[in-house]
Every structure is written in C-alpha cells, then in structure tokens.
Structure 1
Amino acid sequence: MKGHFYRRNCTCKKKKCTCGAKWAYVVDVGINPITGKRKQKSKSGFLTQQEAEAAANTLIYELNQGTYLEETDKTFSDFAKEWLPIYSESKEVKPGTIRVRLHEIGRLLPYFAQLKLKDITRKMYQDALNDLKAQGLADSTREGINRTGRMIFRKALELELLKKDPTEFAYVKKDKKTIEQLEEEEVPNYLEKEELALFLETVKQHGLEHDYLVFLILAYTGIRVGELIALKWKDIDFKNHTISITKTYYNPNNNTVEYQLVPPKTRKSRRKIVVDEEVIDALKEHKKAQDEVIELLGEAYNNQDFIFAKMQRQCGYPIVIKNVRDRMKSLLRIAGLNEDLTPHSLRHTHTSLLAEARVSLEQIMDRLGHTDDQITKNVYLHVTEEMKKEASQKFSELMRSLR
C-alpha cells in the first residue's frame, strides 16, 4: 500500500527543518469507482515523523481489516437538517413531536452549528449539557435536548458517517431535591370528589354552549383534551355506552380552520372506554340540540361530524383547546376553586377517584391509554397511601373498642 511522509508547508531548503512545520502522511486508500483513479487519504499536524508513521500504520491496518471508515465533513447543522425527515419518516411521528425536536435542535445549534460532526468530542457535548443547566433549563427540558442529540449522533454512526458517538457517556446533571420538593412536583393538583361535584354543578349553572358536556366527559373518562375535541359522533356507541379514542386534535396556532387530526399519543392510547349512563344521556341531549342547528343553518354549517363543533361563527369546525382552557379557568373562579387547574387536571382527578374507588392501577392505566406513566402512578400511590392510613386508623379503633 503506497504512501509517503513529509513536512507540510515546510519553507526550509536544507535537509534539516528549522521552520517548525508539522509532519503529515499520504496513503492510498483504494480506487475511485467513478474515475478509476486512486484515492488518497492525508492527515497533518504531527510533531514527529514517528507519530505520522504510527497514525498511517493504524489507517493501513483498518484498510486491511476492512474496518476503515471515512468520517463525514458535514457540519452538525447540515446533518441535523437531514436527520429530521429521516426521523419523521421512520416512525409514526406527530407534528407536535417534530416541533419539539426542532426546538431541541435549536438549543444545540449555538454550541455545534458550524462544527463538523467528527470534530465534536464527548467533552464538548457534556460541556454543552452542563451549560444548559447553568442557564436554568429544567431537568426534563435538558433530558429532551439530550435525547434528540443522541438520536442525531446515533443515526450518523448508523450511516457510517462517524467512528465515535460523542453522546455515548453523556448525562444530565440534576440537583438533589428534598422529600417535600419531590412530593410537591410529582403529585399534580387535582380536584377532590366534593370539589369535582361543585365544579360540575357550577358548569351546569353558569356554562356556555357545550361546557357541561365537555367537562363531564373529561372528568368521567380521563381522556386528554385533544382526544375530546377530535371526537366524532361515529365514535359513540349509544347502545353499549362506549367512546372510541382513535385520533387526537392538533392545532398549535389555535386557528379554527387550520387544524389536524393525528394518531393518538401512543398505540395504547387507541382504546374504547365504557362510560356512565349520565354521560350517554348528556351526549344524546347535545346531539338533539346540534341537529336543530344543522337543520337551521343548512349548507352554512360545515358538517364534519364533530361532537364539539362551534355553533356560531365558523359553524361546524371543532372548538380549539385554548377555548376549553379559558372556559375552565373562568368556571373555576366562579366556583371559588383553584384557578391554576387545567383540563389535564381532570385526567389526574379521574385517576385519584378511581384509586379511591379501589380500581387497580393496571385498570386505570388501561382506561387512560397508558403503558407507563410516572405521574399517574404517583397520583395513584398518593391516594392509596391515604387509604392505608384510613385502614390503620380503623384497625386502631377496633382494638380500642375491645378494651
């Protein structure tokens, strides 16, 4: 295998170099299949000829073993742009997830944008994660950024554009938290059963259009608000009292006419939920009122079979998530309840009440469309822990009665 060594950019005319030029090597690495000419690999920057020879020998060994890999000169920014379509096409990825990945790539660009992939070291990548922490980014945010970074570099490794993955041993630094902080963060706010009854009564008395049905279904099923808005009448089985969850609503800009219906969050999210007769009766009443509006408006009603469709301007289009959030905040204020609660809090409320009713965690997970969710587990354990205290108290009372 041909090759030679020389001092790169040496200006000395004598045999002995005094200008301090570094050593370099040039090695034949094969034949260009298009031109038929020989391909060469060169590298410079070595302090001595021995260092250049050692590096060249390593290259030659890799060539002989068939393990040689020519790393790409692409920058992180360029490859990240190539990676995103590959990622989105390789699996069922929702538009919202793509937006998150783009945001996370944007967080990495200030550190690596114009650097070549092959020049990014493990230390540089770890330093970037540490700097993001110093900026005050939350643990979950940095975990997401690291997850995206890992996917990008692992794809480059898979495509044989890199020899080493700089994210391999990277970790997200976290501050140690007190028990009080953990409990406060991991158990979200939700309504107790008396508060839920008050809230629903308030909605019934002061709600607009389909407010009552919206919050009744959210509370009685635990479905996500996006799943609720995507519901169509064909998803309701009035005979068997079930609601089928097959899609979710996506509209980041809250533009009524520019929405998307996308697959649910996970495969487990596709499910059929058995509901109470009260929910079915409320749905029937709502359908009757909606049919009257459709008949009155005729072609002016954009009938796409949505249950929660607008009845006034842009009639027939589904309501937007922001509208549900705003209505809940207003109704919580009227009821004198915690205004920081959101439609998603009703999902946690549903979990807590099922736990209180002694429904198993497995059954709750199935109903919510979860395979594994730590927050749901935390709510369940929090409620059941209180139930254990109640059992202990009852046992103590029983023993005291025997004295």
Structure 2
Amino acid sequence: MRKQKETLFCDYFDEWVETYKEGSISDITLQKYLMVGKTLREIVPKLLISDLDRRIYQKILNQYALTHEKQTTTDFHHQIKACIQDMFHDGLIDRDPTYKAVIKGKEPKKKKKKFLQTDELSKLIKSLDLNSGINRDWLILITAKTGLRFAEVLALTPADFDFENQLLNIDKSWNYKNTKGFFQPTKTPSSIRKITIDWQIVGQLKPLVEELPDDQPIFIEKDKNGNRKRVFNSTYNGYLAKKCKELEIPVISLHSLRHTHASVLMAAGVSIHSISERLGHADVGVTQEIYAHVLNELKEADNQKMIAILTQL
C-alpha cells in the first residue's frame, strides 16, 4: 500500500483509465479521459498520491479553469473525481480531496441557441416528409421524439421496436466515424434503456420496417454492391439546418434536437428523474447540470405561480 501511495498521480490515473475505462465506454468518451490524463501530466507531473489533498486538488482545477469555460472545467473535475473516489475506496487516500471543490472557469462565449421552443419543434415536425419511406426526415423525427444520440439512432434495427407495447430498446450505438461503420456498445452502461414511443411512430413506421431484416440498421443505406455507405453527422446537420432556415426557426444541430426533446418534456412538467433515465444519463446530477438553464426558467415560472396562489389566500 505504501508503495502505491508513492506512485505519481498522473501514472495512477492513466493506469486507472486503462483498467476501468478501456473497453467499457465509447471511443469518444475514452479519448476525453485520455486527454484528462495528458493534462494532469502537464499540470502536476510530479505529484505523488500521498501528497494529494484538497488544497492541491483545488489548485489543479484553478489552473485548468484559467483557459477553459466553467462547464468544461466541470467535466474535467468529474472525470478526475471518478478516479479519486476509487482511490479513496481502495484505501490509497484517507480523505476525498474533491470534497466541496469550487468550480471556476473563463467567461463563456456567446453561444447560439441550443434548443427549440415547443411551437418551433412542432413546426419542424409538421414539415417532415414521412411518406417516402425511410429517409432523413424519419431520422429527424425519431431524434426529436426520443432524445436519442445520433449514434444510437443510426444503430436502430426493426427488432429494437416493440410496436405492440410502444417501447423502443436502446442497447447499442453505431460507430459512424469508422469508414466501414459497425455496431458498438452504448456510450455508458446507463445508456442501455427502454423508452416509450408515441402512436405516430408506431402507426407510420411499423409498415415501413416490417419487411426489413430484423438485425440490420434501418438508417444505414447500401450501395449497388451491397456495401454499407458511410454516414456523416455533418450531412444530417446540414440538412436539418436547411429545413430550419426554410421554416424561419432557430438553426440547430441534431444533438440540439436531443436538448430540445429534454427541454420540451421539462417545460411540460415531466420529472427530471424520468427525463434523465430517458436520455440514458449516468445519474440525475448530469441532467441537472446540462439543463440548468431550463430548470432555472421553470423555477422562475413556479415562483410566479406560488406568488399568485399565496396572494389569493
């Protein structure tokens, strides 16, 4: 145990990623952890596990925050914290140095609107051509109505739809960044889930996929030689952007449709816990952080409702 405590923290983090993360998370998420390890090696290359305490950990976060926005610093903190909590449970440290860590960060740049309002989403959905077979419009509809990640939508097969019980099974994703493309595990184990789908998807999609192979992705086209065509996220984002401009609504990306899905449900009063499970987040805290702006708006609306009710007493 003493020998492990004398290990460099950055070395331990790299070994922890190799042991617990490689093969259990998506390549994209793994790259983020590897980048964190690289950053730790730059900030604290000689820090020993035995010297890691709350003060030093806060300094690590503060230095990272000098060149990153608060949300990015929060992500950095969560990835390191996961490793440190394992260290704590394994008895390598006596106290959790991440306790009450203060998250700082650069002033965020002005960002484009990341989601649509309910009426704007309705306008988009009504404009979709759903009568010409499986097409890009169907992918947009399913993303908007399920909140699935792009890679999860691409991996959908006819077998994933339980039309009778109005359920959709999400247990894999599609590696579209590889030239050949193939099924891969979901982003995290918590991303494996079953969600409810509405009557429109059941009624209109069922006859379109009934004759398709149960185990083949419905949105991956094949060329004349029978080989699967490569899919580019930018192609769909460009297509969606064009539709948004034509409809004179804010231009958003496919991932923003996922945000829109969650925001619309929150505004309608669906619980944060149900939304978190539907999106496949690891825990409700992740959902609360991502959609803090929506929750703040809803809180303000609730305050006005409470004031109105109390005033009438």
TM-score between the two structures when normalised by the length of structure 2: 0.73
Q: Which digits, 9 at most, give the CA deviation of each residue in 1:153-174, with x for residues without a partner? A: 66567767x6777945683442
Any conservation in 1 of the 2:265–2:275 contact (CA below 8 Å)? yes
Residue aligning to 1:174: 104
Residue aligning to 1:85: 18
The answer on 1:104 being equivalent to 2:19 is no
Residue 94 and residue 380 in structure 1: after superposition, are their counterparts in 2 closer, same or farther (change >3 A)?
A: same
Matches for 1:177-196 after TM superposition, within 5 Å: 189-196=114-121
Any conservation in 1 of the 2:155–2:174 contact (CA below 8 Å)? yes
Deviation, 1:384, is 7.6
Deviation, 1:106, is 1.1
Residue 209 and residue 335 in structure 1: after superposition, are their counterparts in 2 closer, same or farther (change >3 A)?
A: farther
Distance 2:166 2:200 in 1: 10
The answer on 1:270 being equivalent to 2:192 is yes
Any conservation in 2 of the 1:256–1:318 contact (CA below 8 Å)? yes
Q: Which digits, 9 at most, give the CA deviation of each residue in 1:34-82, with x for residues without a partner? A: xxxxxxxxxxxxxxxxxxxxxxxxxxxxxxxxxx945665444544432
Distance 2:299 2:94 in 1: 47
Q: Which digits, 9 at most, give the CA deviation of each residue in 1:337-370, with x for residues without a partner? A: 212x222332333334435555455544444445
Residue aligning to 1:25: none
Distance 2:87 2:307 in 1: 57
Q: Which digits, 9 at most, give the CA deviation of each residue in 1:358-394, with x for residues without a partner? A: 5455544444445412144753663585588689889
Residue 235 and residue 261 in structure 1: after superposition, are their counterparts in 2 closer, same or farther (change >3 A)?
A: same
Q: Which has the higher contact order (CA 8 A, sep 6+)?
A: 2
Distance 2:95 2:80 in 1: 10
Q: Which amino acid aligns with 2:188?
A: K
Matches for 1:52-131 after TM superposition, within 5 Å: 69-70=2-3, 74-88=7-21, 92-113=24-45, 115=46, 117=48, 120=51, 122=53, 125-131=57-63
RMSD between aligned alpha carbons?
4.4
* 1:382 maps to which of 297, 300, 313: 297
Q: Which amino acid aligns with 2:41?
A: L
Distance 2:272 2:11 in 1: 46
Q: Which digits, 9 at most, give the CA deviation of each residue in 1:206-233, with x for residues without a partner? A: x996111111112222233222111111
The answer on 1:345 being equivalent to 2:260 is no
Distance 2:258 2:180 in 1: 27
Any conservation in 2 of the 1:226–1:321 contact (CA below 8 Å)? no
Residue 165 and residue 144 in structure 1: after superposition, are their counterparts in 2 closer, same or farther (change >3 A)?
A: farther
Distance 2:89 2:269 in 1: 48
Distance 1:173 1:319 in 2: 37
TM-score between the two structures when normalised by the length of structure 1: 0.59
Q: Which amino acid aligns with 1:174?
A: K
Residue aligning to 1:140: 71
Any conservation in 2 of the 1:125–1:166 contact (CA below 8 Å)? no
Any conservation in 1 of the 2:221–2:228 contact (CA below 8 Å)? yes
Residue 263 and residue 352 in structure 1: after superposition, are their counterparts in 2 closer, same or farther (change >3 A)?
A: closer
Residue 387 and residue 145 in structure 1: after superposition, are their counterparts in 2 closer, same or farther (change >3 A)?
A: closer
> Could you tell me the percent identity over the aligned residues?
23
Q: Secondary structure at the match of 1:305?
A: coil
Any conservation in 2 of the 1:73–1:117 contact (CA below 8 Å)? yes
Residue 156 and residue 330 in structure 1: after superposition, are their counterparts in 2 closer, same or farther (change >3 A)?
A: same
Greater alpha carbon shift after TM alignment, 230-239 vs 327-336? 327-336
Q: Secondary structure at the match of 2:129?
A: helix
Distance 1:106 1:127 in 2: 17
Residue 344 and residue 276 in structure 1: after superposition, are their counterparts in 2 closer, same or farther (change >3 A)?
A: same
* 1:247 maps to which of 159, 165, 172: 172
Distance 1:111 1:200 in 2: 48
Q: Determine which structure has the larger strand proportion and give its number.
A: 1
Residue 166 and residue 338 in structure 1: after superposition, are their counterparts in 2 closer, same or farther (change >3 A)?
A: same
Any conservation in 2 of the 1:309–1:315 contact (CA below 8 Å)? no
Q: Secondary structure at the match of 1:244?
A: strand
Distance 1:369 1:80 in 2: 26
Number of residue pairs matched?
304
Q: Which digits, 9 at most, give the CA deviation of each residue in 1:81-105, with x for residues without a partner? A: 323222227x943333321110111
Distance 1:229 1:386 in 2: 37
